[in-house]
């Protein structure tokens, strides 16, 4: 069964280069493990809840094993420091489709 990955975050505007470098590798590794970006866009506000995010991404993977393989991939792990630098706030949540 497919798994949806919801990524919500607030990029640090002073760390644009780190974000660019992270995104280049992240896109490649997501695709390598069968991930498909279904939606990507800027935040329009919130309807409910305490947090508000500037960006959101929805990615579909074939199954949970593919998600785990993506996240554990050495190429992805290598750019996590860039992700931590580039985002002031970030949440990644999994949902079964």
pLDDT tens for each residue of the chain, 97 residues long: 999 999 999 999 999 999 999 999 999 999 999 999 999 999 998 899 889 999 999 999 999 999 999 999 999 999 999 999 999 999 999 999 8
In 10 A of CB 34, how many CB atoms?
A: 16
Query: Where are the alpha helices (H) located in 1-97, listed in sequence order?
Result: 16-32, 64-72, 74-86
> Going from the N-terminus, what domains does the chain have, and what CATH number goes with each?
3-96 (3.30.70.100)
């Amino acid at each position: 069964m497919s798994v949806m990955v919801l990524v919500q975050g607030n990029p640090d505007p002073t760390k644009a280069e780190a974000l660019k470098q992270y995104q280049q590798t992240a896109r490649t590794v997501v695709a390598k493990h069968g991930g498909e970006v279904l939606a990507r866009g800027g935040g329009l506000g919130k309807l409910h809840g305490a947090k508000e995010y500037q960006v959101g991404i929805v990615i579909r993977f074939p199954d949970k094993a593919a998600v785990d393989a993506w996240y554990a991939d050495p190429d992805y792990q290598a750019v996590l420091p860039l992700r931590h630098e580039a985002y002031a706030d970030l949440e990644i949540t999994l949902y079964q489709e």
